[in-house]
């Protein structure tokens, strides 16, 4: 690995709610010779998740069972850091000239505390997108290629956006290395925004350089796999690269569905500048709608539990 070690490199975690455009941003950033990346690793939320939860679990029992009576906390987390370094070094080794590792797994937004435990100096780049667009895209995935993880409904996806974006917003209170970018702003001036992102990451790429990167990462190019990428984008399922644009959700959602999404995601979405004014439903409609939301969530929980038992 040419003597490289993650202890000497910068690592940036690109996070956000799923279907927020994180893959597109990842591919844009990977156009830089200095950025090494790979397809989603699920390193912290899946592979290492059990190691973190087990440590807390067994330590809280007050007995000498588990690993905490064999390892000190510092030593235990150094073991986790060692494995994580191996994974990130593997990514780094694929691009010898790179000085930075970009890891993009949207689900990592739910375990940012674990990431900071292992990498206190980690950078977090949060891409946030209009909840109405995210829900429309999630629903489309849930009806097709992403049915194993996305919901075909509206309400569950609205709550998913609220949970994941809410988690991401929390990060900025615990590290100075956090940057939030709106998908819509990136779309409106991609070259300028991309150049600013590189600067934040400690890299120098002019607006003209970034314009070239944008032009080789168009939707058609990604679908065709015409340009060399960190992984074969042609193997992604049909519909993975949405291409509905900033306002596509207006054609995909009915008026009542839009109101439902706004009701669930406000006021967080309002704070992020996506819609202004009180989007709550007036009077008795709000009461009825709130009851419906609770019933909807309870019914999904109940049916999932019943299916699990069966």
Indicate the pTM of the whole model.
0.86
**Predicted pLDDT at 210:** 97
Lowest mean pLDDT segment, chosen from 33-42, 92-101, 152-161, 288-297? 288-297
Please say if the pLDDT value at position 293 is more than 80.
Answer: no
Mean pLDDT along residues 200-216: 96
**Predicted pLDDT at 3:** 44
Please say if the pLDDT value at position 278 is more than 60.
Answer: no
Mean residue pLDDT of the chain comes to 88
Please say if the pLDDT value at position 1 is more than 50.
Answer: no
Q: Which domains does the chain have, with CATH numbers?
A: 6-253 (3.40.50.300)
For 222-252, how does the pLDDT look when each residue is reduced to its tens digit (9 = 90+)?
767 666 788 888 788 888 887 677 888 999 9
**Predicted pLDDT at 63:** 79
User: SS3 letters for the chain?
Assistant: CCCCCHHHCEEEEEECCCCCCHHHHHHHHHCCCCEEECCCCCHHHHHCHHHHHHHHHHHCCCCCCCCCCCCCHHHHHHHHHHHHHHHHHHHHHCCCCCCEEEEECHHHHHHHHHHHHHCCCCEEEEEECCHHHHHHHHHHHHCCCCCCCCCCCCHHHHHHHHHHHHHHHHHCCCCCCEEEEEHHHHHHCHHHHHHHHHHHCCCCCCHHHHHHHHHCCCHHHHHHCCCCCCCCHHHCCCCCCCCCCCCCHHHHCCHHHHHHHHHHHCCHHHHCCCCCCCCCCCHHHHHHHHHHHHHHHHHHHHHHHHHHHC
């Amino acid at each position: 690995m040419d003597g490289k070690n993650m202890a000497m490199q910068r690592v940036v975690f690109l996070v956000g709610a799923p279907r927020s455009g994180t893959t597109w941003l990842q591919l844009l950033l990977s156009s830089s010779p200095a950025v090494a990346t790979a397809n989603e690793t699920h390193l912290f939320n899946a592979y290492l998740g059990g190691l973190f939860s087990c440590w807390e679990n067994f330590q809280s029992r007050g007995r000498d069972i588990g690993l905490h009576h064999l390892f000190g906390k510092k030593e235990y987390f150094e073991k986790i850091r060692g494995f994580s370094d191996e994974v990130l070094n593997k990514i780094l080794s694929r691009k010898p000239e790179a000085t930075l590792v970009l890891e993009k797994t949207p689900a990592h937004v739910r375990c940012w505390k674990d990431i900071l435990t292992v990498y206190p100096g980690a950078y977090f780049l949060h891409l946030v997108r209009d909840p109405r667009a995210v829900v429309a895209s999630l629903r489309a995935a849930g009806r097709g290629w992403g049915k194993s993880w996305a919901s075909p409904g509206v309400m569950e996806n609205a709550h998913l956006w609220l949970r994941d974006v809410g988690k991401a917003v929390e990060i900025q209170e615990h590290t100075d290395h956090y940057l939030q970018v709106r998908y819509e702003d990136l779309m409106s001036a991609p070259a300028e925004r991309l150049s600013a992102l590189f600067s934040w990451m400690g890299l120098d790429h002019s607006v003209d350089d970034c314009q070239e990167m944008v032009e080789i990462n168009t939707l058609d190019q990604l679908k065709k796999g015409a340009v060399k990428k960190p992984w074969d984008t042609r193997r992604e399922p049909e519909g993975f690269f949405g291409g509905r644009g900033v306002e596509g959700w207006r054609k995909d959602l009915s008026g009542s569905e839009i109101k439902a999404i706004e009701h669930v995601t406000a006021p967080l979405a309002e704070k992020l500048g996506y819609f202004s004014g009180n989007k709550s439903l007036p009077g008795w409609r709000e009461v009825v709608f709130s009851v419906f939301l609770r019933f909807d969530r309870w019914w999904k929980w109940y049916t999932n539990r019943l299916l699990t038992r069966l």
